Amino acid sequence: MEPAVLVVGAGPVGLTMALELTRFGIPVRIIDKAAARTDKSKALVLWSRTLELMDRGGHSQAFVDAGFKVTAANIYAGARQVAHVRLDELQTPHPYALMLPQSDTERLLEAQLNARGVKIERQVELTRFVADTDQITATLQSADGREETLTVPWLIGCDGAHSAVRHGLGMEFVGNTMLSDWILADVHLHGLTDNANEVNTFWHADGALALFPISPGRYRVIADVGDALTGQRRPDPTLEEVQAVLDQRGPGGLVVSSPIWLASFRINERKVADYRAGRVFLAGDAAHIHSPAGGQGMNTGMQDAFNLSWKLALVHHGLVSDEPLLESYNIERSAVGQQVLIDAGRLTALATLRSSAWQQLRNHVASFAFGMSAVRQTMATKLTELSIGYPHSPLTIVGKHGHAKPAAGERVPISSSSTLTTQGATPRFVLYAARDPQSADVIGRHSKVLEPALRPPFDEDHIWLARPDGYVATVVAKGEWDQVDRYLSLICGQ
């Protein structure tokens, strides 16, 4: 079958994109210029919301089986614990951070894509493209120098921070490179007794140290090691340097050994203004990069893919009018990317304050704030990305029932017993409403984009219409089926 979408890049974002599009019945080609997938652990965490979205395609179990569940994160300032944020009380089927090296995440995504009959075309590079109003003409080059010209309706750049697709669009990657050096070490660590299976961050006078458990005894160590004085890249750290940072900033008694990966890096904070130009889209690191604080980069990119794929599927299948739906991808995900940039930047700035007066104030305020359960809850839902919503999206209609929960734009809560798996080849909206004779009319009229059965409402007085990705599109009063009908007619362009 002729491909409808060319996905450029088979990192975690391109793989998620290709998997979702395939699940919705769209023929794709996915290419990557590299000969093999990464063998580096890079992004370590799959957060709750990413796992929930994977569940919709029945994908998360293999990841959960392979990963390591972490249920809390702590911040220490010297010997004092200033924060203990629990994840195990969150209302989600996945109340934890799932630690899984990115190399494994990519391996499992690729296996699922293969199981759906799609193979990554490796050592195939997008070298240039021409975007017309009705199609894209892409030039692909194989390792042996052979060139192919491919014409497709849609092109998605999931080709990472140095994106050829972004360059081809002439889009600016607005932002800067922070002038501090960081080290990263995947190692075995002995001697961590307190909260050894939790994420532990230490705010020290000389800088930050964070320890992420990867599997029993194995950890990711991250630390900032001062201002970058030259434009030159810092050499990768030695094991002795890692040990010295642990001795200086850690709880004491830690012994590091068996390094698997030692690297230094600098933090870039950049984003494009638009995630879309006509028939070309950007997703993942191609569109936004930021501090690793909070571990949001890969998850945000994968959620770009979940957001775009159902919209493109409905448009491709001719079930909706394309403009508002496709433009909402840019509006919704650009806002999320901007917020992640701000939050990760703030977390990094707080952890790396240099003045002792500011450090004391920070420790005092943080200790007070994290004493409040509302602050801990906010932190937990932000980290896990459960708090992401689209209240200002053109797809969200707030109406008169803003008080009903979940509100328009918010995530539909999922109880562990009601995990959703979208059925069939096309994405569908879902109605949460009490049984009502009028519901059959609306469901019948919009049967191509609406699930055939009602789900139980969150209260008896309202009807919720949820998008295929599990966010509330609108809430109306019981019986106001005309409002539901109007929403779906608008989306479908009738």
Ligand X SMILES: Cc1cc2nc3c(=O)[nH]c(=O)nc-3n(C[C@H](O)[C@H](O)[C@H](O)COP(=O)(O)OP(=O)(O)OC[C@H]3O[C@@H](n4cnc5c(N)ncnc54)[C@H](O)[C@@H]3O)c2cc1C
Q: Using CB under 6 A, list all residues that contact ligand X.
A: 8-14, 31-34, 42-45, 102, 125-126, 158-160, 164, 184, 263, 265, 284-285, 292, 295-299, 301
Length of the chain, in residues: 494
Minimum distance of ligand X from residue 109's CB (angstroms): 10
Nearer of residues 105 and 243 to ligand X, judged by Cβ: 105
Nearer of residues 12 and 427 to ligand X, judged by Cβ: 12
What is the C-alpha to C-alpha distance for residues 454 and 443, in angstroms, rounded to an integer? 9
Residues 6 or more apart whose Cβ sits within 8 Å of residue 226: 180, 181, 207
Nearer of residues 215 and 321 to ligand X, judged by Cβ: 215
Minimum distance of ligand X from residue 202's CB (angstroms): 17
Minimum distance of ligand X from residue 289's CB (angstroms): 7
- Helices 322-351 and 297-316 pack at an angle, to 10 degrees, of 180
Nearer of residues 236 and 485 to ligand X, judged by Cβ: 236
Written as six digits, the tokens of 316 are: 């491709």
Nearer of residues 41 and 422 to ligand X, judged by Cβ: 41
Per the CB < 8 A criterion, the answer to whether 196 and 215 are in contact is no
Name the helix (H) or strand (E) containing 190: strand 174-190
420 in helix, strand or coil?
coil
| Edge-to-edge strands, sheet with 68-70 | 45-46, 97-99, 68-70
Nearer of residues 43 and 404 to ligand X, judged by Cβ: 43
481 in helix, strand or coil?
helix
Looking at residue 418, the DSSP 8-state letter turns out to be G
Output the CA torsion 323→410→63→294 (10° steps).
100
Nearer of residues 55 and 285 to ligand X, judged by Cβ: 285
Minimum distance of ligand X from residue 481's CB (angstroms): 41
Distance from the first to the final alpha carbon of the chain: 30
Pairing of strands 288-289, 255-271: antiparallel
What is the C-alpha to C-alpha distance for residues 146 and 143, in angstroms, rounded to an integer? 7
Minimum distance of ligand X from residue 350's CB (angstroms): 18
Residue type, 128: R
Nearer of residues 342 and 440 to ligand X, judged by Cβ: 342
Nearer of residues 170 and 437 to ligand X, judged by Cβ: 170
Minimum distance of ligand X from residue 295's CB (angstroms): 4
Minimum distance of ligand X from residue 159's CB (angstroms): 4
Minimum distance of ligand X from residue 305's CB (angstroms): 9
Minimum distance of ligand X from residue 458's CB (angstroms): 31
Per the CB < 8 A criterion, the answer to whether 480 and 436 are in contact is no
Output the CA torsion 321→327→333→338 (10° steps).
-160
What is the C-alpha to C-alpha distance for residues 260 and 325, in angstroms, rounded to an integer? 44
Beta bridge partners, 121, equal 31
Exposure string for 103-115, b = 16+ CB within 10 A, e = fewer: ebbbbbbbebbee
Residue type, 284: G
Nearer of residues 102 and 195 to ligand X, judged by Cβ: 102
Per the CB < 8 A criterion, the answer to whether 465 and 473 are in contact is yes
What is the C-alpha to C-alpha distance for residues 66 and 25, in angstroms, rounded to an integer? 28
Nearer of residues 102 and 396 to ligand X, judged by Cβ: 102
Minimum distance of ligand X from residue 263's CB (angstroms): 6
Minimum distance of ligand X from residue 261's CB (angstroms): 8
> How does DSSP assign 101-167, residue by residue?
-HHHHHHHHHHHHHHTT--EEETEEEEEEEE-SS-EEEEEEETTS-EEEEEESEEEE---TT-HHHH
Nearer of residues 28 and 319 to ligand X, judged by Cβ: 28
Minimum distance of ligand X from residue 25's CB (angstroms): 23
